[in-house]
Amino acid sequence: MQARWLLTDGWLLSQVELHVTSIHCISRAEILPFEVSDAARSEEEIKEAEAAGELKARVSQDVRLNGRYIDLRTAANQAIFKVQSGVCQVGCSQWHASVPHA
């Protein structure tokens, strides 16, 4: 490992550069049941692709529920959680504002 130190405007900054000589795999990941992009694809997109002669993967509800840890990474599910979080934050702030402080 090589390290360089840089003093800028009174701040000491470190820049570290690693030279990797070998990598060892400790544990291989299992093959995912489906890709996030497949789960995010709408039925309409699949039908359009089929009409154009393309083959797109269709992920059933059971497969999505069994692989929920992947399905939660789709943009639609992320948006749902962001909205839910925002609603909870507004509700909590309103509740805290209405509670008299001792």
Proportion of the chain above pLDDT 90, given as a percent: 58
Cα–Cα distance between 43 and 102 in angstroms, integer? Answer: 55
pTM over 0.75: no
Measured CA to CA, the distance from residue 1 to residue 22 in angstroms comes to 14
The number of CA neighbours under 13 Å toward the Cβ of 60 is: 3
Position 100 scores a pLDDT of 81
How high is the pLDDT of residue 13? 60
> What are the tens digits of pLDDT across the range 45-72?
999 999 999 999 999 999 999 999 999 9
3-state DSSP of 39-81: HHCCHHHHHHHHHCCCCCCCCCHHHHHHCHHHHCCCHHHHHHH
| Position 9 pLDDT exceeds 60 | yes
